[in-house]
Amino acid sequence: MEKPIIGITTFCKKEPKKTYCSASYNYITAIGNAGGIPMLIPLLGKKDSISRYIDNIDALVLSGGEDISPLLYGENPTKTIKMINPRRDKWELELFNEAHRRNMPILGICRGIQLINIAAGGNLYQDISVQCKEALGHMPIETEVHHLFHSINIEKESKLFDIFKSTKIDINSYHHQAVKDLAAGFKVTARSEEGIIEAIESIDKKFVIGVQWHPEDLIRHHPHFMELFKAIVQAAKDDD
Which range marks the domain in which residue 129 is found?
Answer: 5-238
Q: Check the CA dihedral 203-208-213-218 and report its sign.
A: positive
Per-residue confidence at 61, pLDDT binned at 50, 70, 90? very high
User: Which of these is catalytic: 94, 110, 138, 201?
Assistant: 110
User: Is 216 one of the catalytic residues?
Assistant: yes
- Between strands 37-41 and 5-9, the pairing is parallel
| Number of domains observed in the structure of the chain | 1
Q: Considering the entire predicted model, what is its pTM?
A: 0.95
User: Is 193 one of the catalytic residues?
Assistant: no
pLDDT value, residue 1: 60
CATH of residue 230: 3.40.50.880
Angle at 2 between CA 49 and CA 107, to 5 degrees: 55
pLDDT value, residue 166: 98
Tens-digit pLDDT profile for residues 166-220: 999 999 998 899 999 999 999 999 999 889 999 999 999 999 999 999 999 999 9
User: Is 110 one of the catalytic residues?
Assistant: yes
